[in-house]
Amino acid sequence: MTNSEISKEVKKWLKSCTRKGKIARNTIAAGLVVLDTLLSKSPVQKSDVLTKGGELKGARSGLPQLLAKYGIAGLLKEVTTRQGGPDAQRLFEKMRYGKIFSGMSNSERKRAIETGIEVLLEEARRWMSRQQIKVTCERQSAPATWIGSILRNAKGKSGGIVEQHLIGAKLVRQYPKEKIPNYPGHAGDTQTGRPGDFCLGSSCYHVTAAPGRGVLSKCGENLQVGLHPILLVPRDEFGKASHLAEDEGIRDRITLVAIEDFIATNIIEMSAGQQKAFLQHLKALIETYNQRLEQVETDMSLKIDLR
């Protein structure tokens, strides 16, 4: 198989892994693990590269070193999605677990695989070069309008990460003496052993951009153990969240607040009601947000640039 044919096969594989018009960085990272594995050894046995559960070996603890090797350390910390293993397996199958390189010299095999790796690196660089979230704040607008503008600009790009870190930043500024945890957006409550995104005393905050049965179920679990759930959603999701809470029979027992109002009220209170100070406090909030994002996330395009 020629270098150009390898390149075409990798591009076809990427296209087959496209979901909702996008190629996930988990897929790109999984592909790099596959090709780098074949670069080191070909052919390989399926059991050498995939666990019995179908997970890709080397896609977690060894990933940061691998990505650093190819100059894209900021892409991802570990392959976390359920699609990562199946995507990797399909690429291994396309490469016939390295058997397509049989008959090639080591140098020929190396050049062929590196051609495929370059396809993935181009995609990774494209992903990492995405612009930050740019938001223009009109001074005469209300703080809730500013927050709404940020959420609209993040929609379709954030996956809930922006919302979570905005609330984290707000809590840090509101409760400077408390230790507010900072988890990456993909770290689920069960995975981290926490009852919600943030807990202060007996209050448990749940932040979501798209409320569903799962988060309402967590709110119900909080109630069972004596915690008070506070569900924070974008304003345009408020009605949906309220209906879901009604269906679960807990609407009167939880606090449901629009994220825009939750953050805006804090800005107003910290400004002592002085409108000229609103923007100053928003800028400080966003500075804290960006710092927290840098600490645990790899997608720096989710940083907010206020104009």
At which of 86, 106, 128 does a domain end?
A: 128
- What confidence score (pLDDT) does residue 186 get? 67
Instruction: Tell me which DSSP letter residue 298 carries.
Output: S
Beta bridge partner(s), residue 271 = none
Task: Tell whether 137 and 260 lie within a shared domain.
Answer: yes
- What confidence score (pLDDT) does residue 165 get? 97
Task: Tell whether 185 and 302 lie within a shared domain.
Answer: yes
Task: Render pLDDT for 166-223 as a digit per residue (tens, 0 to 9).
Answer: 999 999 999 999 999 999 876 654 445 689 999 999 999 999 999 999 999 999 999 9
Task: Render pLDDT for 47-86 as a digit per residue (tens, 0 to 9).
Answer: 989 988 888 998 888 898 999 899 887 788 888 778 888 9
Task: Tell whether 106 and 149 lie within a shared domain.
Answer: no
Instruction: Tell me which DSSP letter residue 130 carries.
Output: P
Task: Tell whether 8 and 76 lie within a shared domain.
Answer: yes
What total number of domains does the chain contain? 2
Task: Tell whether 144 and 96 lie within a shared domain.
Answer: no
Task: Tell whether 145 and 266 lie within a shared domain.
Answer: yes
User: pTM score, two decimals?
Assistant: 0.65
The count of other CB atoms within 10 Å of the CB of residue 201 is 8
Task: Render pLDDT for 8-47 as a digit per residue (tens, 0 to 9).
Answer: 999 999 999 998 788 888 999 999 999 999 999 999 999 9
Token duo for residue 48: 């050498």
Task: Tell whether 145 and 263 lie within a shared domain.
Answer: yes
Task: Tell whether 19 and 137 lie within a shared domain.
Answer: no
Going by pLDDT thresholds of 50, 70 and 90, the confidence category of residue 262 is very high
At which of 128, 153, 176 does a domain end?
A: 128
DSSP string, 230-267: EEEE-GGGHHHHHHHHHHHT-GGGSEEEEHHHHHHHHH
Q: Which domain holds residue 64?
A: 3-128
Q: How far apart are CA 85 and CA 51, in angstroms?
A: 9
